[in-house]
Every structure is written in structure tokens, then in C-alpha cells.
Amino acid sequence: SRSHPNEPIHRYVELENVGHCPNHEAPHAVGSVLKRWLDNGERSNDNLFLVDGKYQTFNEPWGIITSRELDENEARMSIKDRVLSELFC
């Protein structure tokens, strides 16, 4: 849970078998994650689940896409990504 109401919530969803343009290659997978995030009015980490279960699969035009939500310990960001995240979040 957040200590301050305006503290950002960092979430990371990994999509396997997707290249640099996931919204075009896996529109159902991306849409599912975004819909869950947008439909959650509370926006707390405790009540927000972006993926059904441990893994969720989607049959996309490009093939089978697997999505999974990673916790902060699993999602390793580069130093550049961490700096950019802090600047823009």
C-alpha cells in the first residue's frame, strides 16, 4: 500500500512474443491490461490485478501472446529506465 495518496504506483506487465509495438501486435493483450487499469477506480496496488492468474494467454493475429504481471523484485530496470521513470512519473 502507498504511504502517500499521490505516490505513484509502479506496475510492470510482461508480454512474451511481442516486439517493439505491442499495441499493434497484441491488441487484445494490451487492451485487457489497460481496461483493467482504467476500470479500477481505487488505483491501489492491493486491489488491482492486471492479469488473470499467474499467466494469461491471448490468441492474436501474430500468434499466441502470454502476459504476466511482475512484482518490483522481478522487474529489473536499467539505470536509464529508472531515471526516466523518476522524471516522468
Per-residue pLDDT at 1: 46
pLDDT band with cut points at 50, 70 and 90 for residue 2: very low
Q: Is 17 left (phi over 0), alpha (psi -120 to 50) or beta?
A: left
First to last CA, the chain: 17
Q: What is the DSSP letter of 65?
A: E
Which residues, 6+ apart, have CB-to-CB distance to 10 below 8 Å? 72, 85, 89
At residue 7's C-alpha, the angle toward residues 34 and 38, to 5°, is 15
Quick: pLDDT tens for 15-24. 999 988 999 9
Quick: pLDDT tens for 30-50. 999 999 888 887 656 667 788
pTM: 0.69
Provide the grid cell at 89. 512519473
Quick: pLDDT tens for 58-80. 999 889 999 999 877 777 767 77
